[in-house]
Structure 1
Amino acid sequence: MLLDFWYSERCTKHTKLIVSVITCAIIYYCSTFEKLSPAFTLFSLAIGVSIHVLRKISIKIATGTPYLTLYKILFAVFSIFTFAILVFLLPTTNKLYTAIQALGFVALGLFVVSIYESRQKRFE
């Protein structure tokens, strides 16, 4: 899964920066056709942050419990279902461009929170 790579040691800070910049460029390009409203932007960012939080919770669940499989299924369904609802509620004009922006903001919400959490502390 892509999230496994994102949270692994193989995904360096350099790679995360490049992916984040490319995501921002795609969002900017799509916004030249149709801008995503601030409410949808905040909802998209909230979905990204919640994906990160749910992933952290799933890591804390012991691997031997039967709840882990159920939780992973719920995690996948939640992510897809909330994004599908978001796309359904988007305005019909230029829906493709606004859906791409929404997906980009979901990714940015996940990226920013995960990068911030794994940063080195300056003072301890």
Structure 2
Amino acid sequence: MLHHVARQGTLWDAGGYGDLLYASRVSGKVHEVIVALKAFAEIFSVVRMRDPGCPDVEPLHRMARLLEAGQASEEAIAAALDCLAAVRPHAATKSPVELADAAQSVALRIHWDAVQDRADEAAEEPPANHGT
């Protein structure tokens, strides 16, 4: 996906909703670019917490932030590609169970954060007036 962008490829916005999409010619699947990049970066952030030998994925987090802001640069794309080139061989040393566990940890954190956000919003709402 980032190789496509680096070759001056374009990403497209489906239906004007602002979601950058990439259609893989290999798999035929369509991916939301920012979501996929954030997920990959989050999962390998967890892997790195558990194994300091895992390369730092900050360039991927940075790339996702820049894409969200519409400010991707050639330098950021190159840094993200270099990061992916370093992460891939490290990922190959991990078992599918380790990678799935890291992904599950990220999913659980995202769900927990959503629950906490809803609880915080509910706590900020004024109490309902029950006709008294």
Query: TM-score if structure 2 supplies the norm length?
Result: 0.31
Look at both structures and tell me which one has the larger radius of gyration over its CA atoms.
Answer: 2
Report which of the two has the higher share of strand. Answer: 2
Higher relative contact order (CA 8 A, sep 6+): 1
Per the normalisation by structure 1, the TM-score is 0.32
Instruction: Select the structure that is richer in helix.
Output: 1
